[in-house]
Amino acid sequence: MLSHSQLNVAGPIIGSGEFGKVECASLQIESVSIQVAVKSVIPGNCRTACYRDFCNEAERLITLQEHNNIIKLYGFVTRGDPKYIVIEYAKHGDLKCYLHTLRNSVITVAIETRLVKIAMNVASALEYMETLRIVHRDLACRNILLTEDYIAKIGDFGLSRDVYESGEYSLLQGAEGQGPLPLRWMPPELLNRGIFEPKSDVWSFGVVMWEIASLGETPFQTLPVFVFSKMLDDGTRLHKPNNCTNKAYILMYKCWLKHIESRPSPSTLLEELEEFLSENEKIFTNIHPDALSHVVDESQV
Ligand code: AMP
């Protein structure tokens, strides 16, 4: 537990989340001052679901501190308002913003290698979460943070759940009391039937790979939810981004297999990504056309 007197929240604001803002701050621990990020919430000023997600995130972060690819927790300030979650500051911000900065640059081998390593960091965090049966449910580039050395760390555990809480499969609560959901990153079994388990995060990992390959596009951007959720159930998948290799697209496509058990485990994803490094495979080229069935370019719908 930390106290308000240990924190100097001088800003700047570095993001805004569902609960409130995320700001830069310095944390005083004995004689040492550390740059941190703080997420704040004023319980009376936000919806109940939002405060619940804030508390859920705090609880999850305590459980998940043993892994280098999960954002480090320094502590909480719970006395008085606002309440703060104090976490490691990620100098390069979130992955989606970083991908946007690459849009006007030449993708060099060094950048490709960095992106593969980022994907491996995320798969490694998923592997760890799987051992604890924790499902993130909101894995997306906006929730992946990059440190000074471009190490990727999963942040934002507001929607995460422990699948032990309700057995092997868990059902989403009804719409009542539910905050906004990241529908475009969700597998069909979660979208249409509310079922989630660790392989739901593998689906979202495929969407993260797709975001990387498209340099931060939004999945199914032009389609309303009722259209793409039906399309997913019918077997349609996100299109192959321009300049994405077949090898990278096949990897993401496997994450989107309808049969949950057939999706690769996080360990398999790690092995496959390792091949991208050792065999000098690429994410970005103009290889064409793909040989996969059921692939519909959303722009043609
Ligand atoms: P969140 O509330 O976790 O969704 O955070 C909203 C945004 O704030 C993220 O997309 C990041 O751009 C930024 N952010 C969150 N946490 C950090 C952090 N620890 N270091 C740097 N930026 C952060």
What is the bridge-based pairing of β-strands 13-16 and 21-29?
antiparallel
Please, are residues 203 and 230 in contact by the beta-carbon 8 Å criterion?
no
Question: What pLDDT band is residue 298 in, cutting at 50, 70 and 90?
Answer: very low
CATH 1.10.510.10 boundaries in the chain: 95-295
Q: Which of 141, 114, 291 is nearest to 218 (CA)?
A: 141
**152 Cβ inside 6 Å of ligand 1:** no
**Segment 273-298 mean pLDDT:** 62
Residue 291 has pLDDT above 60, yes or no: no
**Which of 14, 36, 40, 55 is the best mutation target for the ligand 1 pocket, counting ligand atoms within 8 Å of the beta carbon and taking the most?**
14
What would the two tokens of residue 202 be?
A: 């593998």
91-127 tens-digit pLDDT: 999 999 999 999 988 888 888 999 999 999 999 999 9
Q: pLDDT digits over 66-93, tens only?
A: 899 999 999 988 888 888 889 999 999 9
How far does the centroid of ligand 1 lie from the alpha carbon of residue 80, in Å? 23
Question: Burial, 233: exposed, middle or buried (Cβ in 10 Å; 0-12, 13-18, 19+)?
Answer: middle
Choice among 138, 156, 162, 290 that is catalytic: 138
pLDDT bracket for residue 165 (50, 70, 90): low
Q: What is the mean pLDDT of the chain?
A: 84
Read off the tokens for 93: 């911000």
For the question of residue 138 being annotated catalytic, the response is yes
b/e 97-121 (16+ beta carbons within 10 angstroms → b): ebbeeeeeeebeeeebebbbbbbbb
Under CATH, to which class is 95-295 assigned?
mainly alpha
Q: Is 89 in the pocket of ligand 1 (CB under 6 A)?
A: yes
pLDDT band at 180 (very low <50, low <70, confident <90, very high): low
Q: Where in the chain is the domain with CATH 3.30.200.20?
A: 4-88
Q: What is the pTM of this model?
A: 0.88
Mutate to test the pocket of ligand 1, among 16, 22, 137 (most ligand atoms within 8 A of CB): 22
Query: Ligand 1 pocket, 93 CB below 6 A?
Result: yes
Report which DSSP code applies to 121: H
227 lines ligand 1 (CB under 6 A): no
Q: Please work out whether the CB of residue 216 comes within 6 Å of at least one atom of ligand 1.
A: no
Among 269, 255, 253, smallest CA distance to 126 is for 269
Q: In the prediction, which pLDDT does 125 show?
A: 96
Is the N-terminal amide bond of 12 cis, ω within 30° of 0?
Answer: yes
Whether pLDDT at 170 is above 70 = no
CATH topology of domain 4-88: Phosphorylase Kinase; domain 1 (3.30.200)
